[in-house]
Amino acid sequence: MAENVKVMNKNRRRGKDFERFIAADLGGRRTGILGHEDVIIPLCNTECLAECKERKKLPKFITDCLSQAKRNCPDDKLSAIFLHELNQSHVNDIVIMKYSDWKRIYDFITFGLSCSKSWKRRKNETIKI
C-alpha cells in the first residue's frame, strides 16, 4: 500500500511540474484546482484553458500520424493532424500538433513573431480568431 502512495505522489508531482512548465513557457498561470483547468494561458482577447496530460508513452496511432505529418512538411511550415469521428459534426474534430509548432503560432499571435521564413506578420495587422 505504501508503495502505491509513493507512485501516486511521484506521478502527481510530475504532472504539476509539467503544468508549471507550460504556464511559465506561455506566460500563463497554473491554477492547480482538481477537476478544473490546469493552466490558464492568455491568448488574444481571451484565455486558453489548458488541460496538461503527461504519459510515459503516447498512443502509437497519434505518434505515427505526427511523424507522417512532419515527414511530409518542409522545415519552414507547420504540421498538424486533424482527427474526425465518422458521422459526427466537424465542430468536434480534434487538432493535434507538436508543441514546438503550437508555440510558433502562439508567439505569432501574441508577439507578432514570424512563424516561418515565408509567413511574416505585417505591422498593424490584426488576427481574428
- Residues 41-85: tens digit of each pLDDT: 998 888 999 999 999 999 999 999 999 999 999 988 899 999 999
Closest CA to 92 of 100, 101, 84: 84
Range of the domain at 32: 1-54
Q: Length of the chain in residues, anyone?
A: 129
User: Do 82 and 106 sit in the same domain of this protein?
Assistant: yes
**pLDDT tens, residue by residue, 7-42:** 888 888 999 999 999 999 999 999 977 778 999 999
The reply to whether 26 and 62 lie within a common domain is: no
* Region 87-113 average pLDDT: 91
Contact in structure between 98 and 70 (CB atoms under 8 Å): yes
Q: What pLDDT is recorded for position 4?
A: 86
Going by C-alpha positions, the residue among 60, 62, 40, 63 that lies closest to residue 52 is 40
114 shares a domain with 71: yes
Note whether 110 and 84 are same-domain residues.
yes
Domain boundary among 33, 54, 75: 54
- Give SS3 for 95: strand
Q: Does the pTM of the predicted model rise above 0.85? A: no
Q: What is the pLDDT of residue 35?
A: 75
Secondary structure of residue 64 in the 3-state scheme = helix
Examine the domain organization and report whether 49 and 78 are in the same domain.
no
Instruction: Tell whether 81 and 46 lie within a shared domain.
Output: no
